[in-house]
Chains A and B, each alone.
Chain A
């Protein structure tokens, strides 16, 4: 097999690498500054309040966490489903998964009201809390994927990589189910109380993770002038298209099941028809840019030399659509008022019965971008220091027998 002869190499000591890391460093410092400012003055300086209790930091954090699980797709395909062409790409996949999770959790943690007390989340548990389950799921993910990565990269351990890969595959499905359930178990909120939310989040994770993987792979190859073959891009293209279609389908199911119940017509009308920014982000961002555009780009017939650009454009569109989706899900769901007294028009000093507005502050934006920068920095620093990526990723190296097949 070709895979056994592949030479892995760290990316070269180039100005471009360090420039990227420096840029990330800038954003990380800005994010840290935003966190310190928020901790000093309190959340009063943010756009969040007692109605929109989870804001932009949570949009970034949940997006990154969901994408982390999906970034493992390539590794799973190699080890669980035995597709050897993906095998050389698996270490980057596991690395990206860890980096995205680290970035997302950092944002989530630094947005807490008492981040200084984060250790409490590890010392006292309420086992009934979906959040507490997630603490286990996240640490377990780090451990399993970390071990998996080690077994892939340490030649003596290669034989065990397959088993760890299977464990990681199961674990990340459970992890995303857990992330989706954070929202799905909120029975009081009309936007979330749905069992469809957990599988929907799994579909989101598969497509966001694959899209980010493609972008990072192309970025790493570009920064180091490594050849990247079309065959692998084509295969990932089909994978991505499947995941985007599955996400779109589940989103449709989610809204159609909600629409079946007359009591949910208010919230559905809000998100789908007259929710202003949320309706716009849903139709233009989540559905248009995030689903339809990528599907067209990925599935429409294209000349061979255009495929790569289309796939990368589609990936970027999926990422943008993913952010829009998280914004609509998390913030749109809270903007809609709780319905305490059906059949009554209500008003109060606490904005009962009103749609609430949210305007993120610069601090929340900086914190969120800091998390993204942290994830990118971890990936590229690791690529610079350790041998994660094959020297050549052209068709002949990866899989000579399939060099010309689709």
Chain B
């Protein structure tokens, strides 16, 4: 758990948020120390130490656009640290049905170039948090929505489970919960009959942490995933996108995804 994973503080826009980032970073550091001192401590305590939500009355800001940059040259074939971290964080377990019925918020795709058959690539694929999300367009009730800071979420309170968004998503990024669940993370409500997808770990972002997958990738030593504010020209992610070539998956659809890839 290092400071590298803390998203670039959107200092210019929101001083209050900046202050809260500072608090959470030290809280996280304290928590990490606590774990080292007492390995038997329950995760519950760790969570409490971390939970530094901002005070009530603070809302997601439209000045921010959270995004991710994935360097496929650093992503290791066969490594699935991001997938396991996502599953742990969001309490996603394989269902009792067929493999295609289990939820997958993030998956590893292995690619082989057809022309030469040699060049092999590996990359994580998840909800691309589009600026123009087709899932939001097609949702009949407005349950699929985009938060001010660009995170695309499902409002399970009004999702009726029609799965039209799954038909519309070009990335096959959404899953349908098709049986009753019991062991949810209290901060990640999930349940039968609704569609779900990667939330960019919104519960972590709101307390100043980055997504679990990014943290895991860094800790596994690959550092293939970078999280940050695309709107902040001084953030590492914006700088890297400005200086090195990156691409959008299915750019032809002009959805302006928040997740970008390097090395494809």
Using CB atoms and an 8 Å cutoff, list the residues of chain A in contact with chain B: 41-46, 48-51, 53-54, 112-115, 117-118, 120-121, 124-126, 128-132, 135, 182, 185-189, 334, 338, 340-341, 343-352, 356
Contact = CB atoms under 8 A, between A and B. Distances in A.
A295 B23 CA distance: 76
30 contacts: A42-B177, A43-B101, A43-B178, A43-B179, A44-B97, A50-B176, A51-B100, A51-B172, A54-B163, A112-B160, A112-B161, A113-B195, A117-B158, A118-B160, A121-B140, A121-B141, A125-B141, A129-B137, A129-B139, A131-B140, A135-B140, A186-B167, A188-B250, A338-B170, A341-B109, A345-B111, A345-B113, A348-B107, A349-B107, A350-B125
B159 A114 contact: yes
Contacts of A341: 109, 111, 249, 264
Cβ-closest 9 pairs across A and B: A113-B161, A113-B193, A188-B170, A131-B140, A42-B179, A43-B178, A49-B100, A44-B97, A126-B142
Nearest to B144: A126
Contacts of B113: 343-345
Contacts of B109: 340-341, 346-348, 352
A345 to B, nearest CB: 4
Nearest to B161: A113
A280 B178 CA distance: 30
A131 B165 CA distance: 11
Given A340-B250, A341-B264, A131 B164 contact: yes
A124 B157 CA distance: 11
A174 to B, nearest CB: 17
Contact of B171 (A54, A118, A182, A338): A338
A130 B108 CA distance: 32
B9 interface: no
A187 to B, nearest CB: 6
B186 interface: no
Contacts of B167: 53-54, 186, 189, 334
B131 interface: no
A182 B172 CA distance: 18
Nearest to A119: B160
B96 interface: yes
Contacts of A53: 163, 166-167, 176
Q: Is the interface of B mostly helix, strand, loop or mixed?
A: loop
B193 A128 contact: no
Interface string B147-191: 000000000001111111011111110111111100000000000
Interface of B: 95-104, 107-115, 121, 125, 134, 136-142, 158-164, 166-172, 174-180, 192-195, 249-250, 253, 264
Nearest to B195: A113
A126 B139 contact: yes
Q: Which of A54, A129, A340, A351 has the most CB of B within 10 A?
A: A129
Contacts of A132: 140-141
Given A125-B140, A350-B107, 15 more contacts: A41-B179, A42-B179, A50-B100, A50-B174, A51-B100, A113-B162, A124-B142, A128-B138, A188-B250, A338-B170, A341-B109, A344-B114, A348-B107, A348-B110, A352-B107
Contacts of B160: 112-115, 117-118, 120-121
Contacts of A120: 141, 158, 160
A131 B102 CA distance: 26
Given A114-B159, A343-B114, A126 B179 contact: no
A101 B239 CA distance: 55
A7 B100 CA distance: 58
Contacts of A115: 160-161
A50 B175 contact: yes
Contacts of B249: 340-341
Nearest to B142: A126
A44 B98 CA distance: 8
A113 B164 CA distance: 11
Nearest to B253: A187
B141 A124 contact: yes
Nearest to B145: A126
Contact of B110 (A46, A114, A182, A347): A347
A315 B161 CA distance: 35
Nearest to B181: A42
Contact of A338 (B102, B137, B172, B177): B172
B264 to A, nearest CB: 7
A131 B60 CA distance: 29
Contacts of B110: 346-348
A44 B96 contact: yes
Contacts of B112: 344-346
Given A348-B108, A349-B104, A44 B158 contact: no
Contacts of B115: 343
B178 A42 contact: yes
A349 B110 CA distance: 10
A34 to B, nearest CB: 15
Contacts of B172: 50-51, 338, 340, 350, 352
B134 A187 contact: yes
Contacts of B161: 112-115
Contact of A345 (B103, B108, B114, B134): B114
A356 B96 contact: no
Nearest to A341: B111
Given A49-B100, A349-B108, A44 B193 contact: no
B104 A44 contact: no
A188 B100 contact: no
A50 to B, nearest CB: 5
A188 B134 contact: yes
